[in-house]
Structure 1
Amino acid sequence: MTQTFVPAAFYRGGSSKGLFFHARDCPCEQAALDRMLLSALGSPDPNGRQLDGLGGGTSSLSKAVIIGPPSHPDADLDYTFGQVSVDRPVVDWGANCGNLSSAVGPFAVDEGLVEVPDGEALVRIHQVNTKKIIHSRFPVKNGKAVVTGSFTIDGVSGSGARVALDFLDPGGTVTTGLLPTGFLVETITLDGRAFTVSLVDASNPVAFVSAEQLGLTGAEPPDAIEADCTLMALLDRLRRAAGVRMGLATDAANVGLANPKIAVICAPATFKALDGRRIDPGEHDIAVRMLSMGRAHRAVTLTGAMCLAVACKMEGSLPHNLCAAAPGAEVIRVGHPSGIVAVGATVRRKDSSWHADRAIVYRTARRLMQGEVAVAPLELEPAR
């Protein structure tokens, strides 16, 4: 049977890359859609390289985005995100990608889905996975999103036009609230060993555990973390136990790959970034090493960084206790393996609980390719 060719664009958004599709070009039947995305990105690949597709062998390079008409009155379009596993036949629809969110607005403008005047555009995005609204602001010239500029982000070479992302009311994306269990800190016990954790859902749910509890410094590079099979297994067990606590599954075995993330955090300390730069304690407020889709992330998921910044603003949480930011600081500087990302977070007490009003981050995005992607023959005609 011949291959099927599906219209698509390939984007870098922040420190991630992914395939962008119009909803109209995608199968409406879920199993057929999953097969299409697995084929396009080259999964599953037991060799971990995705050589038979457009994936890059890591979770940050194995992603898909589907853009369609808005189903929310406060949005200009719907954005659905699919995280494609590298080595398993799995597409996880339970999370959002903050990095690729930065490419959604430019895609919509360049594809003619929204009309905006030249200058600073505002595209209102309904993030379908999390049922949240994102405001994306970026420059437009001659009816197209501007790509070139002087803004830089750690983990990405070169510079580009700045994309400002404002995540409105980010708490409680796929759980019951900002603090799904109602506690700022709690204890998870595995094999008689107790771990203090903070379970927070802001932009995406994350389980935070301190490096010290794991016998780590928090400065370890991703490869060193992945090479420690015992540590990776422990982190996944902690992540799954946290997922049950957060109400994402009734038992550990059924907790999905994408959510919750697990993040190892520590107070600011000297570490070497992946590009060889020395990052000093005074340059960041808190450090993180995060796992995504069973792999150690080479930077940090943007939604994870936002969740961490929000958690740092909640007095009594584990991140707050380790964060060096001055009281009342508007921005939290998050140190990660590729450098630093600054996240603005507005958090306040509401009655007897906490409420996150917004999280703000800045990224760049660029269209890398456009045309058609070859996939295994579709069993159903596109009719999404």
Structure 2
Amino acid sequence: MSHNKNQRQNVLKDFNFFNTKLNEYLNNLEKQMSDQFFYNSYIKDCIKDSLLVLARDSLNAKAKRIRPLLCSWIFRNYILAHDFSKEYRSLVKKDKSSLNKCLKVLFCIEILHCASLIIDDIEDGSLERRGQQALYLQYGIPNTLNTGTWMYFLAIKTLPKSLHSIAVNTLYDCHIGQALDLSNNNPKFIESLFFGSSEHRWEYYKKCAELKTARLLQFSIDCLEQILDIDKKTIIALKKLFMYYGLSFQMFDDIKNILPDLSGHKSYEDLNSGLRSSISLTFLDLLSSQEKRDAYNEFINSKYSEFMLSHNLYKYCLKECYNNAQNYLDQSSLLLDEISCHSESREYIHFILENPIENIRYSIANLIAESHISFNELQSSIL
């Protein structure tokens, strides 16, 4: 068996270990809350149905667990001295103590991430999340909004008190990023993006991705720096690596949004809601002044997707956007040279970073290779 297959198995093993521990955490949480209100079945049932069921649905959906797995990579790389095959359950007492501290950070990160998705779907009016109907459509906006907000506080309570300020600062930054993203609903802002400078458009996009996507990745490093013995130079390199990866991941996610075979009913969602997509920004960079005016008029008339998808520069736009996303991923890989990484360590993290985008690579290659497809054909492929 090749090293790559071995590392794939190691990542999947850690993935399953985290899922098991997360479910144990949720079971203990439910027991604690039930014990707190054991005297009143009405209260217990309300809490379970209005909080715990929704939280479980969010946390147990088809998640990639990228953030916890990256923390697992850091733990194995720097605490277990590049041992990527040792079973977590068989650690010596000292290492097990460090792992338990790290698990609190991992739970916090995953809870924060899932909570942000719950609220993000409400704010964007998204119909799907991870291949299932968005939670607010299943349980209603009031209960879902309350659960998402409660999960923020649950995540902070999971952490040691010494890390609470880091979590609060992270949430503060992430909500600034969300405010930037939601500004796509402002007509004046949309107009300025269409006709403003390319540099300012991309600066805006990168800041959104940095605060919404990369910031939560860097949060894990801020916490683990307090828990584990990692030198400052390595911490700086890790934060930079995760920032580049956050940008790359966001751009690949934008590309996924225009692939009906991967996004289903969420396809073209970002194209229809302002210019939050790197696909849109890349497309605008290719247009003449008159074409930007035409594109803007189509956007005002709710026909921007049709204009863009039927344009003769659309496939070239896809290639450019894909190349930019790959460039950021390559930059994050190069930063591994600044960190003490053995070959097994590189294989482990490469599997984490690149496995989620393999289907995107395959699908985008097929789309680019196809002859011209009309907008109506693209739309019908979603249904």
Q: Which TM-score applies when normalising by structure 1?
A: 0.24
Q: Which TM-score applies when normalising by structure 2?
A: 0.24
Find the structure with the greater CA-based Rg.
Answer: 2
Larger strand proportion, structure 1 or 2?
A: 1
